[in-house]
Chains A and B, each alone.
Chain A
Amino acid sequence: MTDRPLDAPTHADLDPSRRASSANGALRSLVAALGSVAVGLLVMLAAVAGFGYPPLIVARAFVASVLGNGDRIAAALVLACPLAIIGLAIAVSFRAGVWNIGGEGQYVLGALAAFLAAHAGLAQTPVLGPIVLLVAGALGGAAWAALAALLKRYRGAPEILTTILLNFIAVQVVAIAVHGPLADPLSGDRDTTASIPAAAQLPQLIPTAGLHAGILVPIALAVVAWIALARTTPGFRLRVVGDNPIAARFVGIHADRVAARTLMLSGAIIGLAGAVELAGNTHYLTAAYDAGYGYTAIAVALLARLHPIGVLPAAAFFAALETGARGLQKLPDEAFRDFPTVLTFFAQGTVILVTVLLTRMRISGATSP
């Protein structure tokens, strides 16, 4: 921990695959990503077959249930939206060598903060309403991440553990809020809140398909993050801290400070995802609001090899996988009625294992418990 040799993880700097800036590097990344996806899909099909489903029929039904009609594509895009935003935030923190595993907690806290803001006066104004929610969500996520950042900075508690622990706490915080003060008096079981006011909701692009304006947020954010990481001084500092904390110290960068700020920035982006999802898609909170996005988004970030733009297709891929599995259950064929969607977690794990194998990706940073 404190007296761990700081020069230990710097092999990463010598590793040419870390530098994906050249065209060659970009091509290699793309090949590696496609390879991971292909192997991941093959392993998943093998598992499907192993569990007694006919793999080819599943594969065909799967594709049909994702791409079959516009509504299914829209459903995949709606799911890809939070995954992409959270994946982006995780990519940014991993680039700085900061282990933000707290996506789940920052996401639900962001949603909670946005929900509270939805009842403020300012949120009732038409255009301003959703913006108030997004700001509140970002603040909520940042505040939750700040707990881990403070514990790390002043008490030396490893964020890799504290962020995970904070996930479990955040889920219960939302449960308490929903069961207690925020419960909808009309819902008998006190397990849901009322919907947020219409003025605070994000506008729908295609109302019949549930496609909301929030899906533009990850696209804009990815471009901003890409430019910020590659072309600005704070972005440079962040990358130096991630690649080589020693070098950072020699050029006068306070690695601890940058790491703490990165964790809070990451939390803010994830909180924003919670707000976008609330304002665009779910519209109300439930006592069990967590959906596992925080963990899936880790797979998104890694498949994208921590590249902000790469996060977009990676999120679309995992969203398609999930909606495909859900779509299988809705097919008329009885055999798929109970098709286990939890299989998608298996695919996420496989894709990460193959990605890390193909690319030697190593996230250094001076952080380990």
Chain B
Amino acid sequence: MNDVTVPELVASTLHRGVQAAVPLALAANGELIAERAGLLNIGIEGVMLIGALGGVASAWWTGSAVAGLIGAALAGALAALLFALWTVAWRRDQVVTGLAINLLAFGLTGVAVQRLDRFAESHGSTFVAPPLPMPAGIDPLATLTLLVVAVTHVAIFCTRPGLTLRAVGENPEAADTAGIRVALVRFIAAAVGGALVGLAGGALSVGMTHRFQEFMTGGRGFLALALVIFGRWSPIGVAIAACFFGLLDALQVTLQPTLGDAVHLLYPALVALPYVLTLVALAGVTGRARAPAALATPYDPR
């Protein structure tokens, strides 16, 4: 640690910060799309986990990290469709369904990874994803995230489908009267949002650690839920908030070796720091941010 210069340290922290911001930004943008349609999915922690496992599984199976990311998005979309089936088609409580999906995903991925590890081993291989290609030293995930944020922002605020999405989230009755198929829009929003959340999981597993570990999302899905509020339901705002928390995460890694003997005591404090700051920020922001009016409310077209 002693022979690292300060500029190098800053550069590596920034690099790590961007890496850490990517899954947060993707997950929060996915949740944002669903929330704009009136769906509050507390289960995105679980959707992210399923995406992370689906990503490593398809990357391992095909031998391609890109296919892994696609698999992660598909797995996330599927998990989110389960949520939509319960909450949109059957109009069940969104929070209860989301909590169930978290438990379901935690159990399912925990067992599945154990079996897949064993399966890969029996075929003389290890259950890991190959590294992502880095054309010309450009981080493909960070680039993809920037694109996703820009496209979502424009799509939500400047296009007709975006207007439809917001109408469904603000006033489903009026949207219905105007001929919009509320349930269909919510299903699509859930699937697209879920794909992004799954991709966020894939960015963690396929993009960073190359392997799946039990509960590897470590609360990032819950942080993403808060990021949507900080970003005031705007993709660019959410992305900025994600960058802040990504940097925080990176600082934690950078500071860790400087703690010396106090590491035992201070390391937990560093781990808790993002959550403490999120709480403080929630206390400061929520009064001024306005959620989509129909958020977490089932729509019953009677």
**Which residues of A are interface residues toward B (Cβ below 8 A)?**
1-5, 8-9, 11, 47, 51-52, 99, 101, 147, 151, 155-158, 160-162, 164-166, 168-169, 172-173, 175-176, 179-180, 190, 295-296, 298-299, 302, 338, 340, 342-350, 352-353, 356-357, 360-363, 368-369
Residues of B within 8 A of A164 (CB): 219, 222
A155 and B283 alpha carbons, distance in the complex (Å):
5
A348 and B272 alpha carbons, distance in the complex (Å):
27
Q: List 23 A-B contacts (CB under 8 A).
A: A4-B293, A9-B297, A11-B298, A158-B286, A165-B282, A169-B272, A169-B276, A172-B271, A173-B272, A179-B268, A180-B265, A340-B114, A344-B107, A345-B104, A346-B107, A349-B101, A349-B105, A353-B97, A357-B86, A360-B92, A362-B93, A368-B295, A369-B295
Residues of B within 8 A of A349 (CB): 100-107
- Chain B residues 226-262 with CB under 8 Å of chain A are 226, 229
Contact present for A52 and B115 (CB under 8 Å): yes
Residues of B within 8 A of A179 (CB): 264-265, 268
Contacts known (A5-B293, A156-B287, A368-B295); A343 close to B99, Cβ less than 8 A: no
Contact present for A299 and B287 (CB under 8 Å): no
Name the CB-closest residue of B to A94.
B96
CB distance from A241 to the nearest CB of B (A): 17
Residues of A within 8 A of B101 (CB): 349
- Chain B residues 273-302 with CB under 8 Å of chain A are 275-276, 278-279, 282-284, 286-287, 289-291, 293-298, 300
Contact present for B99 and A151 (CB under 8 Å): no
Residues of B within 8 A of A161 (CB): 222, 225-226, 229, 282
Name the CB-closest residue of B to A287.
B268
A9 and B300 alpha carbons, distance in the complex (Å):
11
Residues of B within 8 A of A345 (CB): 103-104, 106-107, 110
Q: How many A-B residue pairs have CB under 8 A?
A: 174
CB distance from A68 to the nearest CB of B (A): 24
Residues of B within 8 A of A158 (CB): 282, 286
**Which residues of B are interface residues toward A (Cβ below 8 A)?**
40, 42, 86, 90, 92-93, 95-97, 99-108, 110-112, 114-115, 214, 219, 222, 225-226, 229, 264-265, 268-269, 271-272, 275-276, 278-279, 282-284, 286-287, 289-291, 293-298, 300
Contact present for A369 and B103 (CB under 8 Å): no
Residues of B within 8 A of A99 (CB): 95
Name the CB-closest residue of A to B92.
A356
Contact present for B103 and A348 (CB under 8 Å): yes
Residues of B within 8 A of A342 (CB): 106-107, 110-111, 214
Residues of A within 8 A of B268 (CB): 172-173, 175-176, 179
Contact present for A356 and B100 (CB under 8 Å): yes
Which of B111, B275, B278, B296 contacts A340 (CB under 8 A)?
A: B111
Name the CB-closest residue of B to A175.
B268
Contact present for B275 and A168 (CB under 8 Å): yes
A362 and B297 alpha carbons, distance in the complex (Å):
10
Contact present for B86 and A353 (CB under 8 Å): yes
Contact present for A172 and B269 (CB under 8 Å): yes
Contact present for B93 and A363 (CB under 8 Å): yes
Contact present for B111 and A368 (CB under 8 Å): no
A175 and B263 alpha carbons, distance in the complex (Å):
12
Of B86, B115, B283, most buried by chain A (CB within 10 Å of CB) is B283
Contacts known (A299-B103, A346-B103, A356-B97); A8 close to B282, Cβ less than 8 A: no
A298 and B99 alpha carbons, distance in the complex (Å):
8
Contact present for B286 and A369 (CB under 8 Å): yes
Contacts known (A9-B297, A151-B282); A348 close to B264, Cβ less than 8 A: no
Residues of A within 8 A of B92 (CB): 356-357, 360-362
Which of A47, A169, A176, A356 contacts B96 (CB under 8 A)?
A: A356
